Structure 1
Amino acid sequence: MVGGVLTGGDGQKGPNFDQNYYISWANDHVLSQRQGREIRLSMDKSSGSGIASKLTYSSGFFHMRLKLPAGNSAGVVTAFYLASHSNAHDELDFEFLGNLKGQPHFIQTNVFTSNVGNREQRIKLWFDPSAAFHTYKILWNPHQVVFFVDNTPIRVYKNKVNIGVGYPSQPMQVLVSIWDGDSWATDGGRIKVDWSQAPFNVFLRSFDINGCPSYNNTDDQQCETSKYWWNREQYWSLNPNQQRAYQAVKNNYMTYDYCSDRGRYPKPPPECPQ
């Protein structure tokens, strides 16, 4: 991090995996490499796999460096997300949707508040995410949630509780997983997983966490204070350069936005531009 901005290094410095994370399911499908500086998650017909942070957090600028499954990965979903553990849960999702070899990769994002989601947006990536590591980030503070691909914002969800819109406020865990999503993920579920290509592997780096821990797993007001750099006023909105980059993504790479889906929402949800 330089001046309060995550630069997304190569993951070969800083904490190793065991300091902040644990294997949350399918231990036999998870491999630690490079002295714990890199983790490989695998999926085959028997199981996917996942990891989770040891602590929950009430605000932060969370990141993970990922290299997605190569080749024919249709139907395979890799997720990097934050999730609370209450029944009426909050969740912030990056879902990376596999595709046929040579076809574009897509990212779907979603925001859940008090167990209400259905806020999907989808973009086509402008690079091959299986060819090299890229950094994916989620800024979460009391004013906005921003999803970044490397340093480019691809989605902004503002706090609009003043007009009755839910906003994530519960402590959340950081999670990464790979799983079979072929019922919906590629071409609406028409293209299924080719199990002859298994195992499908996703590689993870950068296991440091920039977040305010919530040790008692309750909404902690101290996590909203400006002593945490991601809560300072400069992170309450995008700066002009970020705003231009965000608009370019929306203009050139967005392929679905729930706000524009009149079949689902004849009247746009209140958080959407009217």
Structure 2
Amino acid sequence: MARHENLLLLLSSSSSLLLLLLFGVVLTCAVGAPFNVTHLAFHEGYSHLFGEGNLVRSPDGKSVRLLLDRFTGSGFISSDLYQYGFFSAAIKLPADYSAGVVVAFYTSNGDVFEKTHDELDFEFLGNIRGKQWRIQTNVYGNGSTSRGREERYTLWFDPTEEFHQYSILWTAKNIIFYVDDVPIREVVRSEAMGGDYPAKPMSLYATIWDASNWATNGGKYKVNYKYAPFVSEFTNLVLQGCTVDPIQQLPAATCSEKRSALEAADYAAITPARRAAMRKFRQRYMYYSYCYDLLRYPVPPPECVIIPSEKQRFKDSGRLKFGGHHRRHSKHRNHVSEGSSSEYQSDA
């Protein structure tokens, strides 16, 4: 009897995995694009980075799934380097128990500039069942990994139920992180930042990987492969910007026009209505910002704009007044394709 039950369980698991890998033509929930941008098919702008069979393309080539199992994670990379640009994707995150799992959507040049790399991160941090996913954004410039610029947030929706658009705008003037059409963070370039402002050509990456040693409650909760494979889905892929020759690191002849168009685009400016939405988001959903962490930075870094209504939510330590603390963890960056992590992680 036990042998019969085990066989049924095995068949059931195999069937579930087969259904998972056979991509349906229709996505679970289509998301409307918040901006007027052109979406690319996967082959038009991206290539498989790592993970053998754990990257699964949809039949129409417009969407892709990244899987994490006990053997490997997976990822993809843009086919070109970009000198400034707008990078966006509609993403749906793994459901159920996702502790220790990190899905990353980010730009980086760490494979070209190992000690002076730039990076702009969206990192989605999994959690135990019943607890919500969290988002971390980070900005590195010129290898400034010792000056991590982390911010962390919760969301006003469940990112596992349907697709939402996550976007990174990067120009010579400013950086904006968007969730759907809501700007959640802006970094304005200043002379005081110097080389800490990302300025070298970067590729776009998307990965899913095992970050058991830090991602959930400081590493207390690990990836549980009983729930594998963990599946992240990507569609509405966007790459807009100036491509750069990967050998000579020189921009294309049309870069001046593309940069002007980028800076004039709808998403490049935070209108009064968007700024109000950003302020509301940060007041309600941001639970950590390096700018208010006086233990790390007694004098806030020069790009920080201290907003009294934000600051009053935090203790002088930078931790929320209603609880939560941070732990230092060892840097996990074996290879750029494995995603990225900050030096301080919250137990919130």
TM norm structure 2: 0.72
Aligned residues: 267
Q: Secondary structure at 2:79's aligned position in 1?
A: strand
Q: Residue 154 of structure 2: which of 110, 118, 124 is its match?
A: 124
Q: Provide, for residues 110-137 of structure 1, a one-character-per-residue CA deviation record: whole Å limited to 9, x for no partner.
A: 0010011311000001111110111100
CA contact under 8 A between 1:212 and 1:228: conserved in structure 2? no
Q: Residue 83 of structure 1: which of 108, 125, 134 is its match?
A: 108
RMSD: 2.3
Q: Distance in 1 between matches of 2:143 and 2:167?
A: 22
Shift of 1:92: 0.3
Q: Secondary structure at 1:100's aligned position in 2?
A: coil
Q: Residue 106 of structure 1: which of 134, 137, 148 is its match?
A: 134
Q: Distance in 2 between matches of 1:14 and 1:182?
A: 33
Shift of 1:233: 8.4
- 2:230 partner amino acid: F
Q: Distance in 2 between matches of 1:163 and 1:86?
A: 19
The answer to which structure, 1 or 2, has the higher relative contact order (CA under 8 A, 6+ apart) is 1
Shift of 1:273: 2.7
Flag the 1:131–1:168 CA change in 2: closer, same or farther, 3 A.
Answer: same
Q: Residue 231 of structure 1: which of 263, 282, 301 is its match?
A: 263
TM norm structure 1: 0.90
CA contact under 8 A between 1:182 and 1:191: conserved in structure 2? yes
Match of 2:42 in 1: 17
Q: Distance in 2 between matches of 1:126 and 1:152?
A: 11
Q: Does 1:218 align with 2:227?
A: no
Q: Secondary structure at 1:250's aligned position in 2?
A: helix
Match of 1:44 in 2: 69
Match of 1:180 in 2: 210
Matches within 5 A, 1:245-260: 245-260=277-292
Q: Does 1:63 align with 2:93?
A: no
Unaligned runs of 5+ in 1: 1-5
Unaligned runs of 5+ in 2: 1-32, 307-348
CA contact under 8 A between 2:54 and 2:67: conserved in structure 1? yes
Q: Secondary structure at 2:60's aligned position in 1?
A: helix
Higher strand share: 1
Higher helix share: 2
Q: Does 1:54 align with 2:79?
A: yes
Match of 1:267 in 2: 299
Q: Percent identity?
A: 38
Q: Does 1:161 align with 2:191?
A: yes
Q: Provide, for residues 222-249 of structure 1, a one-character-per-residue CA deviation record: whole Å limited to 9, x for no partner.
A: 6355664221287664210111011111
